[in-house]
Amino acid sequence: DTAVSQTPKYLVTQMGNDKSIKCEQNLGHDTMYWYKQDSKKFLKIMFSYNNKELIINETVPNRFSPKSPDKAHLNLHINSLELGDSAVYFCASSQGAGGSGNTIYFGEGSWLTVV
Amino acid sequence: KQEVTQIPAALSVPEGENLVLNCSFTDSAIYNLQWFRQDPGKGLTSLLLIQSSQREQTSGRLNASLDKSSGRSTLYIAASQPGDSATYLCASSGGGADGLTFGKGTHLIIQP
C-alpha cells in the first residue's frame, strides 16, 4: 500500500559501474521527482517529470538520466558512477506541479554507496 | 535563487515542553511552504502545507505559521513527546514544476 515506492533501498557498487533506481507511485499523480540528499543531509531537487516530459534539470551531470515509461514510474539511471555520487536518492510525486499547492509525497529513499 | 535557512540546526528539550522551530526564506514570492518530518533511515513525511494566501495551518499538536512579507515560517510543537524526535525540514515552492527548495533541517531530540 506504499504510495511512493523505490528500489533498491540499499545499493553498494564500485566506481565506474552503471546502476538504476526504480520508482513507482500508486497515487495517480502526474508529476514525479528525484531528489538527492548529500552527506550533510541537504536535500536538493534533481529532476521533475510532468506528463512524461522533463520539466527541470538542476545542474545534474549528464551521467544521470531519468526515464519515465509511464505516468506512474520514474526511474533514475546513473552511468560511470563516481565516489561523489554516494548519497540518498529520494523519489517523490504530486498531483500537478509541486507549486500548485498540492502536497509532495516522498518515497523512503535509496542509499547509494560507491566504493 | 531561493535560499531556505532553518534555525536552530539542533535542539534538545525535556518532554512536555512547547517549542518553536524557525524557517526563513530569501524570496518572498513563494507559492506555498511545507513542513516535513524525517526519521533516521526513512523518507520524508509531510506535516503541514501553508498556501501563500494563508497565515497558518494546524494539525493536532502542530501549528505552522507563515509571514511572507518577512520571509519567515515557524513550526510550533505543543506538549512535546519523545516520539517527536526527528529532523524537521521546511521547504518552499516557487510555483510551476520547480519542486521544493529545502532548508537543512532542525534535528530535534525530546528527552524522556
Cα separation, A96 vs A29, whole angstroms:
7
Closest chain B C-alpha to A65 CA, distance in angstroms:
17
Among chain B residues, the shortest Cα distance to A33 is held by B99
Cα separation, B78 vs B26, whole angstroms:
28
Q: Which three cell numbers stand for residue A2?
A: 506504499
So what's the pLDDT on residue A83?
96
Q: B-contacting residues of A 21-80, CB under 8 Å?
A: 31, 33, 35, 40-45, 48, 50, 55-56
The C-alpha R_g of chain A, in whole angstroms, comes to 13
Cα separation, A7 vs A41, whole angstroms:
20
Edge-to-edge strands of the sheet including A19-25? A4-7, A19-25, A73-78, A64-70
| pLDDT, average across residues A73-93 | 95
User: At residue A89, does pLDDT exceed 90?
Assistant: yes
CB of B55 less than 8 A from some CB of A: no
Query: How far is residue B63 CA from its own chain's centroid?
Result: 10
Residues B2-31 have pLDDT tens digits of 899 999 999 999 999 999 999 999 988 888
Residues B23-76 have pLDDT tens digits of 999 988 888 899 999 998 888 999 999 998 999 999 999 999 999 999 999 999
User: At residue B103, does pLDDT exceed 70?
Assistant: yes
Given pLDDT bands bounded at 50, 70 and 90, which one contains residue B97?
low
Q: Cell 545499493 appears where?
A: A11
